[in-house]
Amino acid sequence: MCRNLFTLLTALILSFLIPVSARAFDLLPIESAGLDLGVGYRSDKLDWSISNESDGGSPDILSELTWDNLHILQLQGTGWLELGELPFLRRNSLLIATISLGKIYSGDAQDSDYARDGRTHEWSRSVSDADHGMTADFSAAFGPIFELKKAPGLSVTPLIGYAFNMQALKMSDGEQVISDSITRQQYFPTAGLPPPVGKISGLDSTYTAYWYGPWLGLNTDYQVSKKFKMTAGIEYHWVDYFAQADWNLRSDFDHPVSFEHDANGTGVVWNFKGRYLIDEKWSWLLKGNIQRWKTNNGTDRTYFDDGTVGNTRLNKVTWHSYALTTGLEYLF
């Protein structure tokens, strides 16, 4: 399913950006425009944990999930328009939108459970492959362009935008590496025993995370020479976080939605781009991207197979990402 969705969304990059850019020429006072498409490598890490009670009781970390070393093949498309003076602005402005799609081809996941505070008395740990899944990102922004007269070739653009980010993560081919039934029964006498050490048969669990909300940022452009231009940008995001999971081997959980996460958070994104002009219409691009996201405390809502619902505290979610992309840009 992820493969078909990845193919579909890849086609949407072209089917969305190209027609929108073409129609914009007829509707807006456009000074210049560009459309680029690139492919690259991305590395992600996502981690979350929950406590034993909704108010953060002991243990403070009951369960912790980590997806690490996620290696991702990413396709990215960007369309931008430099607009002439608008009725509410006395200077040129930038309108920009970016879509990124990624296919996870390698990664690791770890699920740990603890009986005491501070990640102590670990009574269960399983590791698994995370080499399936996908990512999708969309961001759009608008802002006025300020040319710095005392620094020829240098301009700054404050931006206001909105972004949506998604990670569809999976766990398969699992192995139980810690199984301490004595500790489990000592601290949780009414709960079931952990699986025995060894291979976990039939593991096919999913966790899909969504980050969405407004952001403010600043782009700085410097025309190094007639052919080479550099751009550096920073964005600060305010996000709502929502996630759904299907823990397929937990017979006491409901399916296909075993639990949900809700929280608010923030993110910081650094962008870097170098553009080398090949001819009047085409440029070669190299882009870099660093992202740091985290949530505040939130809610973990678990759905059981008997129809009951349990709530506990989601401690926090963190997401780190690095990406490097290269491609071509067409200048209209």
Q: DSSP secondary structure string, 150-218?
A: TSTTEEEEEEEEEEEEEEEEEEEEEEEEEE-HHHHHHH-TTSPPPPPSEEEEEEEEEEEEEEEEEEEEE
| Residue 28 confidence (pLDDT) | 63
238/30: higher pLDDT: 238
The number of helices, as runs of H, and strands, as runs of E, in the chain is: 2, 13
pLDDT > 80? residue 12:
no
Which pLDDT band, with edges at 50, 70 and 90, does 190 fall under? confident
| Residue 138 confidence (pLDDT) | 97
Mean pLDDT in residue range 180-185: 91
Mean pLDDT in residue range 292-298: 97
Which pLDDT band, with edges at 50, 70 and 90, does 88 fall under? confident
Which pLDDT band, with edges at 50, 70 and 90, does 9 fall under? low
How many Å apart are CA 293 and CA 314, to the nearest integer?
Answer: 15
Which pLDDT band, with edges at 50, 70 and 90, does 91 fall under? confident
Mean pLDDT in residue range 96-120: 96
pLDDT > 50? residue 2:
no
How many Å apart are CA 168 and CA 147, to the nearest integer?
Answer: 41
Which pLDDT band, with edges at 50, 70 and 90, does 27 fall under? low
19/33: higher pLDDT: 33
CA distances from 117 to 89, 122, 310, 314 (A): 56, 10, 21, 15
| Residue 54 confidence (pLDDT) | 66
| Residue 56 confidence (pLDDT) | 66
CATH numbers and ranges of domains, the chain: 2-331 (2.40.128.90)
Which pLDDT band, with edges at 50, 70 and 90, does 52 fall under? confident
Q: Six-digit token pair at 225?
A: 């020479």
Mean pLDDT in residue range 193-209: 94
| Residue 189 confidence (pLDDT) | 83
| Residue 288 confidence (pLDDT) | 97
| Residue 16 confidence (pLDDT) | 52
Q: What percent of the chain has pLDDT over 90?
A: 78
Mean pLDDT in residue range 35-44: 97
| Residue 285 confidence (pLDDT) | 96
The pTM score is: 0.88
CB atoms within 10 A of CB 241: 26
pLDDT > 80? residue 13:
no
Q: Are 84 and 29 within 8 A, CB to CB?
A: yes
DSSP 8: H
Q: Six-digit token pair at 168?
A: 């569809």
- Average pLDDT score over the chain: 90
Mean pLDDT in residue range 137-150: 92
| Residue 300 confidence (pLDDT) | 97
pLDDT > 80? residue 25:
no
How many Å apart are CA 62 and CA 45, to the nearest integer?
Answer: 20
